[in-house]
Amino acid sequence: METKDAPAAPSAESIARAGGLNLAGRLTSGAAVFGLAVITTNVLDTYGRGVYAILSTWAGIAMTILTGGTAVLAADLIHGRHEEPLLHGVACAVGVQAGLVLFPLAAVVSLLTDGVGPIAVFCAAAVAALVTYCNFEMSIAQARGDVVRVSLADIGMAVFPLLLTTVAAFAVADPTVTLLMAAWAIGALLLASLQLTDAIVTRGVVLKRSWPVAFGIMRRSVGVSAANGVALLMARIDVLVVAAVLGTRAAGVYSIPVALAGSLLLLSRALLTATYRPIMTAPPSEVGARLSAALRHGVIVVLVGGCLSVPVVALLAGPVFGEAYSGIWRPYAVLVPASAFLCVGEMLRHFLITRLERQREILITSGVMLIANGILAVVGAALFGLIGAAASTTIAYAAGVAGLVGVCARSLSMPVVALAVPRPSDLIPYWRLVRLMATKLRLPRSVP
């Protein structure tokens, strides 16, 4: 498919610079997420942490469904269908539409559930609506190749909630789940306000026609939204199964290795941000090579980062999170390969939806993975506890991503192995980097 622009392939230096900038932002964001996990596990008991994890999971599912239109919106900007000021207005309209859907739903949920305050449920709905708007703004910046704004937004999504949660946790003698969810909602509101102000000042926001265009984008992204919701439910169904099979306290413990494994994707997402526009606007003769390089190096950085972090988690989990979490390194180690499979799936999802504008494959694959992960999680959790639940996710990811790689390889007329499996030569730049760093770290010899 021809795109509006087909720029030359970016240099390795420009990708490294952009990827390094975004990685710095994502690592800052990841550190904030880690800090948020530390605070919530220390100020809440395991039951409270379980409730917090479940609310966060359902808010994440809502956000994932509602942000299905981000890839469609990015495609509209890349292919020149709409101007950027109008798309900023569309982001505002989508955020309002999300609130109109989620707040009535939160009212119904609060009436049907026991043990969770209604304010906490409404705060989770507010988080989902606000972060939906923030993600649409991020997608506009990513489609433009604006790595700085993507990085700043990613930092804000984690740092603002962390700061407000920290204040709430230490200002109140006995903080509750409701208070911490409210702090998260206020943090999301701060970021959304800053993004809206930036859009108004720099590019302009056109609200006229934004609602019908927003409805059109959401209608065209129904398949993506459904696939996103199914995919996130598939990724988090192990947490929900652990809650059902082993109890809410076990789900609270298990949510930490799940969050830590998810943070490994900061590495591959930094690479995706740096290569997103070059891949989506590449001429047909070059798109396969660009996508393959991103996939292979994404797998490498996630696996290396995961393997190096397992001993760190084993050493620090107990002192940082508490004695109840001292054994989480075992399920975390099992989830590291799952993160590597997921990084491939994320890149291929963007490629299929934005570049090829195909949604059916994503929905079918996500549905099959959800069913497989659900069945395996029930069996694994019942027989092997948290490690079995983690293994179910890894197996389901491996099978689903293999299917997506096969679909994309056929579309690009490439062998499956050439598309996604790292090559020995891919390791050479990393080896050179390690040697360079080792050389710089050596103490200089004293001059007589």
Q: How does DSSP assign 102-168, residue by residue?
A: HHHHHHHHHHH-SSS-HHHHHHHHHHHHHHHHHHHHHHHHHHHT-HHHHHHHHHHHHHHHHHHHHHH
CB 101 within 8 A of CB 136: no
Structure tokens at 133: 């708007």
CB 307 within 8 A of CB 299: no
Q: How many CB atoms lie within 10 A of CB 166?
A: 15
Helices (H), 324-385: 329-350, 360-384
Helices (H), 172-264: 177-202, 210-220, 222-246, 248-263
**pLDDT given at position 348:** 92
Which residues are CB-neighbours of 370 under 8 A, at least 6 positions away? 230, 231, 233, 234, 237
Q: How many CB atoms lie within 10 A of CB 400?
A: 24
pLDDT in tens, the chain (448 residues): 444 444 555 555 555 555 566 667 667 777 777 788 788 888 888 788 788 888 887 887 788 778 878 888 888 888 888 899 999 999 999 999 999 999 999 888 888 777 677 898 899 999 999 999 999 999 999 888 787 888 888 888 888 988 998 998 888 878 888 898 999 999 999 999 999 999 999 989 998 889 999 988 888 888 777 777 777 777 778 888 998 898 888 888 898 899 889 888 888 887 887 788 888 888 888 899 889 988 998 899 899 999 999 999 999 988 888 888 889 999 999 999 999 999 999 899 889 888 887 878 888 888 888 888 889 989 999 999 999 999 988 998 898 899 999 999 999 999 989 998 988 888 887 787 777 777 776 655 544 4
**pLDDT given at position 434:** 76
Cα end-to-end span (Å), the chain:
66
**pLDDT given at position 130:** 94
**pLDDT given at position 56:** 83
Cα–Cα distance measured from residue 115 to residue 125, given in angstroms and rounded to the nearest whole number: 17
Cα–Cα distance measured from residue 33 to residue 135, given in angstroms and rounded to the nearest whole number: 17
Structure tokens at 92: 């505002």
Cα–Cα distance measured from residue 368 to residue 240, given in angstroms and rounded to the nearest whole number: 18
Q: How many CB atoms lie within 10 A of CB 312?
A: 11
Which residues are CB-neighbours of 236 under 8 A, at least 6 positions away? 57, 60, 61, 258
Q: In the Cβ-directed half-sphere of 49, how many Cα atoms lie within 13 Å?
A: 25
Cα–Cα distance measured from residue 349 to residue 198, given in angstroms and rounded to the nearest whole number: 29
**pLDDT given at position 13:** 53
